């Protein structure tokens, strides 16, 4: 899995590519640990080039969401494939944070 982090002031876009399995989830966790979340107001996870997200990946996203929400920050997951978008909505993650399907 490849991860690109783009920070613009207090906004961070994390672009994921590949498969977010257990190993990928750990890489995501390490990438997020490098961020100073106290200074970040918004995190967007871009999944346009993601083929699969496992439960570990979803778990890491939930932890990031929880951390941001406690400090008033915003979190969203964008550009999900059709099946992943359906999974996120079936899990009702869209009731916690915005999720969008890739066009």
DSSP 102: -
Q: For residue range 36-81, what is the model confidence (pLDDT) as tens digits?
A: 888 899 999 999 999 999 999 999 999 999 999 998 999 999 999 9
On the CB side of 29, CA atoms within 13 Å amount to 13
CATH code: domain of residue 34? 3.30.750.24
Q: Structurally, how many domains does the chain consist of? A: 1
Can you tell me the distance from the alpha carbon of 50 to that of 33, in angstroms, rounded to the nearest whole number?
21
What is residue 36's predicted lDDT score, i.e. its pLDDT?
Answer: 85
Mean per-residue pLDDT, 87-92: 97
Residue numbers of the domain that contains 84: 2-101
């Amino acid at each position: 899995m490849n991860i690109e982090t783009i920070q613009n002031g207090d906004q961070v876009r994390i672009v994921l590519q590949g498969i977010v399995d257990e190993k990928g989830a750990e890489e995501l966790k390490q990438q997020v640990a490098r961020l100073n979340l106290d200074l970040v107001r918004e995190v967007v996870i871009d999944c346009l080039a993601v083929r699969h997200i496992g439960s570990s990946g979803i778990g890491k996203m939930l932890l990031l969401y929880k951390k941001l929400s406690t400090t008033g920050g915003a979190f969203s997951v964008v550009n999900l494939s059709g099946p992943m978008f359906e999974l996120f909505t079936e899990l009702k993650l869209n009731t916690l944070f915005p999720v969008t399907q890739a066009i």
